[in-house]
Structure 1
């Protein structure tokens, strides 16, 4: 089995990747800024090494000996994602890695000129492929696990409200982080995935009122679709991060989030939708779960550890 280094191992995306690597028998090297990363009770790594995105001296030593590297770019480092991602890929190449797999955490456009992280994803994909490392990139469009965060879950659990900045018409292929991890694992040894990128999402294309209906079924009570505006959402998200966002950066970050979701609601490119037939044809070994299946297996209690947002 392969040794896979997971960048951002303590984050919710990294933890899901570790779960799926462990389930398929691969060895895991957890990479984070800590020598003893907290991976939670159910996640196990064979070893750990220090990786600091802003200390390039840590990169090659972290990757050396890896058969593959799974990469997730930090949410709060959006502005320089294209440059940094390309440089990380080059470090994997220098360390002798056989495959670099990046989950963009957002849709990859098929045309030029798209704003926000979308356009940066295209630039970053080019930077990765130019690095010379054998690479695969997945554009995951919208995470089911967002509903478990400390700003989203309380509305659902405590107030029976599904609060999100999606207008009622907006269709989305919500995908679980575990399924993203399965895609990354499946592509690792596939030569047809080397030098390729693909958008991925869940098997259902659903609108916000349908999300509320599914949650109502899972909880056994009515969960009301109660949308917030993108501006309100920006404030909610920044508030959820608390002191992690400096006071002087909060207004700018909130405005950026609001503009991003205004675009998502109106964009003709439909950045929350994927072609599921093509996706499942390319990844027949991955059985994608529905939102109901995902929600039914989650721990919605107050005792579970949760990220503030994301």
Structure 2
């Protein structure tokens, strides 16, 4: 199946709620749905109808008139309270008429399975999209400033990861929201090859024409750095998904859903560099 092939779905005739619709994958999904003339409602704190995970009273208004939902959870599905929140939201969504739910999950992230299970138990027509670490983490969020500074100091040793492009994730999610053939499926998305963070630094150096170096640090040191920057220390635990090698292999699911190869990190780096994002 290619990206342009789809089966008509009732969600085409009503709004789709995109939770986290201003984030890395959410805004891309919203753009793709809008391009297909599917009405979109953004679910965020600053939206016209605010959506706040910690405030269930905001959910009803956000779900009014919604037929499908792209569900993303911040800070992470493996964090305490996530499963309960996702389960309660899924039940509310189904009761309000939004039966089609697509959940963004983490590949190899066992702590996220409880959230996936709670969504499935809601009676929704569900799809789970599990993704590796995003290539865009280096251009849009966590690692943007370190790349600009020319130094990636991270607790990853020599471990490798098949970084996946957020555009590939958005294409798969859009297909899942608009094609009934994806109901009841769990997809695991990766990029086309394994890279160490040293490899990543080399690709970024090549794309930017600057020297960007990778410096291994300990988890304790990185955790302390998160605290100094007023970020959740628990983010450091996500590096365990890389360090133990559980995701150190590529998958075929991008090709299965979209009928094409996943985007390579080198292509991401070249295009991101062309925007000037790493010039500071």
Aligned to 2:69: 69
The answer to which structure, 1 or 2, has the higher relative contact order (CA under 8 A, 6+ apart) is: 2
| Aligned match of 1:282 | 256
User: How do 1:43-122 residues align onto structure 2 when only pairs under 5 Å count?
Assistant: 48-75=48-75, 78-104=79-105, 106-108=106-108, 118-122=109-113
> Equivalent residue for 1:164?
154
Higher alpha-carbon deviation: 226-235 or 179-188: 226-235
Q: Give the RMSD, CA atoms, in angstroms.
A: 2.5
Matched, 1:179 2:168: yes
Q: Say whether 1:19 aligns with 2:14.
A: no
Matched, 1:272 2:251: no
1:131-146 pair list within 5 angstroms = 131-146=122-137
What secondary structure sits across from 2:161 in the alignment?
Answer: coil
Please tell me whether residue 125 in structure 1 is matched to residue 116 in structure 2: yes
Runs of 5+ in structure 1 lacking a partner? 38-47, 109-117, 246-252, 305-310
Give the Cα–Cα distance (whole angstroms) in 2 for the partners of residues 15 and 148 of structure 1.
Answer: 15
Q: 1:258 to 1:8 in 2, by over 3 A?
A: closer
1:30 shift after superposition: 0.9
Q: Tell me if structure 2 keeps the 8 A contact 1:6–1:30.
A: yes
Encode CA deviations 1:146-176: one digit per residue, 9 max, x unaligned.
1125662233223x323332111x1211112
**Match of 2:205?**
216
CA distance in 1, matches of 2:128, 2:26: 15
* Structure 1 partner of 2:3: none
What pairs up with 1:217-296 in 2 under 5 angstroms? 217-240=206-229, 242=230, 253-254=232-233, 256-261=234-239, 263-267=240-244, 270-277=245-252, 279-285=253-259, 287-296=261-270
CA distance in structure 2 between the partners assigned to 1:201 and 1:185 by the alignment: 17
Deviations 1:102-146 (Å, cap 9, x if unpaired)?
A: 112x224xxxxxxxxx23311111111110011111111201121
Q: Return 88-97 or 294-303, whichever deviates more.
A: 294-303
TM-score, normalized by length of structure 2? 0.83
Evaluate the alpha carbon distance shift between residue 131 and residue 151 of structure 1 in structure 2; reply closer, same or farther with a 3 A threshold.
closer
Q: CA 1:229–1:183 in 2, change beyond 3 Å: closer, same or farther?
A: same
Secondary structure (helix, strand or coil) at the match of 1:276 reads coil
The residue that corresponds to 1:40 in the other structure is none
Alpha-carbon contact 2:171-2:258 (below 8 Å) kept: no
